[in-house]
Amino acid sequence: MGVIFSASGDQMSFDRSRHIIGSFLCWLVPQLSPEAIHAVVVVLRKCAHVAEYAVLAWLIWWALDQFSVSRAPDWPWPKAGLVLTLVTLYAISDELHQTFIPSRGGCVQDVLLDTLGGALGLLVLWAACRLKKRE
């Protein structure tokens, strides 16, 4: 959560990441148009949202496991719901935080994307549990 919070600050704003990623893309593929570079930067930033919140879901899941008295043999749906709720609440708080950063802004779409990332993280955990159960 601390990494996400720090990434929400001005240092990780779109202009800064566009400059870093854009410079790399211009070096890698010099003929890319500014519009194409912009599109790639947007896609990479949105993928980062999904990835960081998938990892957050895994970490919350692991943290909750540390306090679990018993291990449920089947997929614990209430626990998954709690993890997704916590991920969503943190996504909301992160977007609220960004409204106080002059170069940033809060975005409902990013909350939805972050929640999707948490759900995909849980889906990976669910699939891993299913595979482990079959062994």
pLDDT classification of 12: cutoffs 50, 70, 90:
low
SS3 29: coil
Check residue 69 and give its pLDDT: 59
Query: What average pLDDT does the structure give for the chain?
Result: 88
Q: Kind and range of the H or E element at 19?
A: helix 14-28
Tokens of 90: 């943190």
Count CB neighbours of 134 within 10 A.
Answer: 6
pLDDT above 90 covers a percentage of the chain that reads: 52
56-111: per-residue pLDDT in tens? 999 999 998 877 655 655 778 899 999 999 999 999 999 999 888 877 888 999 99
pTM: 0.84
Task: Return the DSSP state at 71.
Answer: -
Q: Which residue has the tokens 């870093």?
A: 20
Give residues with Cβ within 8 angstroms of 129, minimum separation 6.
Answer: 75
Note the pLDDT of residue 68: 64
pLDDT confidence of residue 58? 96
Ordered by start, the domain boundaries in the chain are: 2-134
Give the tokens for residue 37: 């570079």
Measure Cα distances from 41 to 92, 105, 107 in Å: 23, 17, 17
How far is it, in rounded angstroms, from Cα 133 to Cα 121? Answer: 18
